[in-house]
């Protein structure tokens, strides 16, 4: 018999989800299945979740002022605010705080959202790449001429691959390109120049996404996903595949859920995540809070690249984890309402089945299309299955995942 969800209903019947794209479809459907009214904001008027929502507003998810106008209209009808797989955790936490709802402390979002603040915090406790804030072209040229390593350029307030570019040492881009990069983000305080770190020769995959949920100061859930980038393609026998001929450096191609690394290395990642959460103050936070980190396996050891108080995008939290029986989209509905997980809940929400999922994706006009093999037995067989699906264009869409 399927277990009924242990939700506590109140007079506040609206759940508010910021971000209404493909990655949020599963969570939106689950909210509706559990008889919540759903508010969704997304700047795309044709966002996939717009049809599911009871109330939809085409507003930028990082625009706090405009979203706050909605908050004032609904106020006491809202019982929880959340996002999943979207970079608006600061807006979510600010809105929730303004309505007296459960939220992660704002200082966590402020550290996580700005890469300079992230590096400044992390370097107190962990190995970090050298990085510099650059505000103008003169400063950029001077810095590049001084550093003696390959480097990458990143935007301060964008996660993952967005705005990522890499260059060899001493290479100086022209002023027009520099201006184009710096104006890609409105109201930016500058750009980040960062040391390009080298992948460990022992690592099959260069990065991992590690997710935790903390309840009253303790980690109650742990999941690691291998992240696949163009630098990893040769390990997948896909480097000559035309499908990936134009993949940019720094853009995630896919993932394996759960991670293929050894149990000993997983224990080390667990220690890193515990240390990270402890130093961010998670041991003192009441109720439940999310903490995720992207970790790079370098020749100097594991390096935390990004941290965030939200669940992953890239189809892992909202797709492959669901296939594995991990019910993160349901869990986030409890978390945002300050509800706790009982011992039986831990098994129901977070205990995986024995499936392993390989996901391969490609960016198409700023949108990602996905191919997957959920009958994963070994890497070579799954790669063959994925290659055939690519040839036959058998994509998987989030709306096809049935709750």
Q: State the DSSP string of 318-350.
A: IIIHHHTT--HHHHHHHHTTTPPP-HHHHHHHH
- Residue 9, pLDDT > 90, answer no
The average pLDDT across 345-355 equals: 94
Looking at residue 12, its pLDDT comes to 60
What's the CA angle centered on 84, arms 80 and 86, to 5 degrees? Answer: 120
Looking at residue 401, its pLDDT comes to 56
Taking phi over 0 as left and psi of -120 to 50 as alpha, with beta for the rest, 141 belongs to alpha
- Residue 154, pLDDT > 80, answer yes
Q: How far apart are CA 300 and CA 107, in angstroms?
A: 29
Segment among 66-75, 133-142, 165-174, 237-246 with least mean pLDDT: 237-246
The average pLDDT across 19-26 equals: 92
Looking at residue 185, its pLDDT comes to 77
User: Quick one: pLDDT band at residue 277, thresholds 50, 70, 90?
Assistant: very high
Quick one: 255 exposed, middle or buried, by C-beta within 10 A (0-12, 13-18, 19+)? buried
Looking at residue 161, its pLDDT comes to 65
Model pLDDT for residues 327-340, shown as the tens digit of each residue: 999 999 999 999 99
Strand 14-18 versus strand 78-82 pairing type: parallel
- Residue 8, pLDDT > 50, answer no
User: Quick one: pLDDT band at residue 355, thresholds 50, 70, 90?
Assistant: very high
Model pLDDT for residues 315-327, shown as the tens digit of each residue: 888 889 999 999 9
Looking at residue 358, its pLDDT comes to 93
CB 358 within 8 A of CB 254: yes
Tell me the pTM: 0.92
All domains of the chain in start order, with CATH: 14-104 (3.40.50.20), 130-195 (3.30.1490.20), 207-400 (3.30.470.20)
Q: Bridge partners of 37?
A: 14
Find the length of the chain.
Answer: 403
The average pLDDT across 341-364 equals: 91
Looking at residue 340, its pLDDT comes to 97
Q: How far apart are CA 231 and CA 168, in angstroms?
A: 16
What's the CA angle centered on 379, arms 300 and 273, to 5 degrees? Answer: 40
- Residue 143, pLDDT > 80, answer yes
User: Quick one: pLDDT band at residue 397, thresholds 50, 70, 90?
Assistant: low
CB 381 within 8 A of CB 36: no
The average pLDDT across 298-325 equals: 92
Model pLDDT for residues 252-269, shown as the tens digit of each residue: 888 999 999 999 999 999
Segment among 112-126, 160-174, 208-222, 336-350 with least mean pLDDT: 160-174
Model pLDDT for residues 159-170, shown as the tens digit of each residue: 666 778 999 999
Q: How far apart are CA 163 and CA 185, in angstroms?
A: 9
Q: Is 98 helix (H, G, I), strand (E, B) or coil?
A: helix
Cα-trace Rg, the chain = 21
Model pLDDT for residues 52-80, shown as the tens digit of each residue: 999 999 999 999 999 999 999 888 899 99
């Amino acid at each position: 018999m399927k277990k009924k969800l242990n939700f506590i209903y109140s007079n506040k019947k609206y759940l508010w989800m910021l971000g209404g794209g493909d990655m949020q479809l599963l969570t939106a459907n689950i909210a509706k299945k559990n008889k919540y009214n759903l508010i969704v904001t997304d700047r795309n008027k044709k966002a996939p979740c717009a049809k599911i929502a009871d109330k939809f507003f085409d507003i930028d998810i990082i625009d706090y002022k405009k979203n706050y106008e909605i908050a004032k209209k609904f106020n006491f009808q809202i019982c929880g605010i959340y996002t999943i797989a979207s970079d608006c955790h600061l807006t979510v936490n600010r809105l929730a705080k303004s309505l007296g709802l459960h939220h992660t402390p704002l200082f966590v979002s402020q550290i996580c959202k700005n890469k300079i603040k992230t590096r400044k915090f992390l370097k107190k406790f962990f190995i970090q790449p050298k990085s510099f804030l650059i505000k103008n072209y003169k400063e950029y040229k001077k810095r590049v001429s001084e550093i003696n390593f390959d480097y990458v350029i990143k935007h301060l307030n964008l996660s993952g691959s967005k705005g990522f570019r890499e260059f060899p040492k001493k290479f100086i881009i022209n002023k027009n390109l520099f201006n184009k990069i710096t104006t890609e983000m409105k109201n930016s305080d500058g750009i980040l120049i960062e040391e390009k770190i080298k992948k460990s020769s022992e690592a099959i995959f260069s990065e991992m996404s590690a997710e935790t949920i903390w309840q009253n100061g303790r980690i109650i859930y742990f999941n690691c996903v291998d992240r696949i980038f163009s630098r990893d393609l040769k390990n997948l026998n896909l480097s000559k595949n035309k499908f990936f001929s134009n993949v940019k450096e720094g853009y995630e191609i896919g993932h394996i859920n759960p991670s293929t690394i050894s149990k000993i290395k997983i224990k080390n990642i667990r220690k890193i995540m515990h240390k990270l959460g402890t130093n961010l103050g998670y041991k003192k936070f009441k109720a439940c809070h999310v903490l995720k980190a992207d970790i790079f396996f370098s020749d100097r050891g594991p390096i935390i690249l990004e941290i965030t108080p939200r669940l992953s995008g890239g189809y892992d939290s909202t797709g492959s984890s669901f296939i594995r029986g991990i019910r993160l989209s349901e869990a986030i509905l409890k978390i945002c309402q300050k509800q706790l997980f009982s011992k039986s809940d831990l098994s129901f929400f977070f205990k995986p089945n024995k499936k392993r999922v390989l996901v391969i994706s490609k960016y198409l006009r700023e949108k990602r299309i996905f191919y997957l093999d959920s009958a994963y037995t070994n890497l070579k067989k799954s790669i063959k299955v994925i290659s055939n699906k690519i040839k036959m264009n058998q994509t998987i869409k989030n709306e096809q995942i049935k709750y």
